Structure formats: structure tokens, C-alpha cells
Amino acid sequence: MAAVSGSVRLQRCVVSPAGRHSASLIFLHGSGDSGQGLKNWIKQVLNQDLAFQHIKIIYPTAPARPYTPMKGGISNVWFDRFKISNDCPEHLESIDVMCQVLTDLINDEVKSGIKKNRILIGGFSMGGCMAMHVAYRNHQDVAGVFALSSFLNKASAVYQALQKRDGALPELFQCHGTADELVLHSWGQETNSALRALGVSTKFHSFPGLFHELSTGELEKLRAWVLAKLPGEMERPKE
């Protein structure tokens, strides 16, 4: 199967703002899911869509590609992995291609009139990892980054990029269940500590007994954080 190229336009599922669009949130799904699947999952957990008065939410779908942890089976994943572990090399070739594809998505929002500092990017599991690569390596001027049940490998290219940083960095919001058996809670904590040591302002919320899943509590905390990072603009008088 041909490798994913940087010219790919991602399928996307959108929740439009109820009012005037002045900010955007890009929410990346976990491995094997889709944008529509993540939107539906969040709706199931909250009993309603995650929605805002002024923020557009974009749920893109990762292209299908061979995925090594599935013995080369085809899956909707943002990048390949040698294994699900924080103690192995990153598959940088596939990560870098997807950084470019997601840059195109960010640029689409900028072209539509949304300033870069009014864009948040984040995700669940692999989606959160992908968001950290996109923001901290390529787009350090976004409003913030969020990562739910996510981690970075110990020798991540993200850490290397931040050692050469210049200027302010977007804040990181993390949530992680203490009972997560797929992405260990300690991996999330280590990621948070490493990024904080490199100058990132971080928030880390642990959820006792939560497995590798979304919960009402973390989505409500995320909603509050999103509104703090992307407040609605005061109604301006008409000229």
C-alpha cells in the first residue's frame, strides 16, 4: 500500500458553533477510530455533543495505513509504531508526514480568518501524542494542547525540538486514568514531567479507577480549560 502523502485532505466531522465562529478546536481520535466515532463516543459520555457558542470543533479521521502493532493490518492511525511502549524509537517518518497533513488543516482554519492563537489541538490516546508532535515541533503559537490517556516515547523528537525552543510555548492539559492498562498512568506522568522541565506550562489530572476511556469528569474539565484558553469575544459595537 502506498505511503500517505502530505497532499492528503483528511475526512472530517464538524460541530459548528452556535454563534459567531471566532476559534477552532481540532480533536484527534485514538488508533483504529474515526472522527465520527470520536464525536459519537463523546456524545454518548456527555449525553450531548461537545459544543460551544463560538468554537468550531473539527474531528478529522486518520488515513488508513498498515499498523505494526496489528501485524501490518490496515487501520485508521495517525502514524505507525514499532510497539505500544514508551521505551522504543518513534516511527518518525510516518509522524512527520502526518504533521504536514495536519498543518494543512490548521492552515485551512487560518485562511478562514481564525488566528493561530485561537486554535487548540489535542486528542485521545494516539491522537494526543500526535497533537503534541504537531504543536510543540511545528506550531508553538497555537492556543494550547490537550492529551487524554496519551504519552510520548522517552526519546521523543518533541523533547529534542523543545531543547532548541525560542519563546513562549502552548500550555498542555492532560488527563489520565489510574487504571489504564494500555497506556500506563505513569507514562502520562513522565511525559508531563519531561515537558514541564523543558518549559511547558502543564496541567495534569488523574482519574482514579478510570481505564483507557473517556469519562464525564475529564470532558467537563476539558470543556472548562477550553473556555479558559479560548474565551468568547465581547460583543463589539457595530461600526
Residue 3, Cβ density class (10 Å: 0-12 exposed, 13-18 middle, ≥19 buried) = exposed
3-state secondary structure of 56: strand
Report H helices in 125-237.
126-138, 157-163, 185-197, 216-229
Catalytic, 205? Answer no
Write down the residue that cell numbers 498498515 correspond to.
66
Selected catalytic residue, list 24, 125, 150, 156: 125
**Measured distance CA(118)–CA(116) in Å, rounded:** 5
In the set 31, 33, 149, 180, the catalytic residue is 180
21 in active site: no
- Smallest CA-to-CA distance from 74 within 111, 32, 106, 121 is with 32
Active site residue 180: yes
Packing angle of the helix pair 35-46, 216-229 (nearest 10 deg): 110
- Which positions are annotated as active-site residues? 125, 180, 212
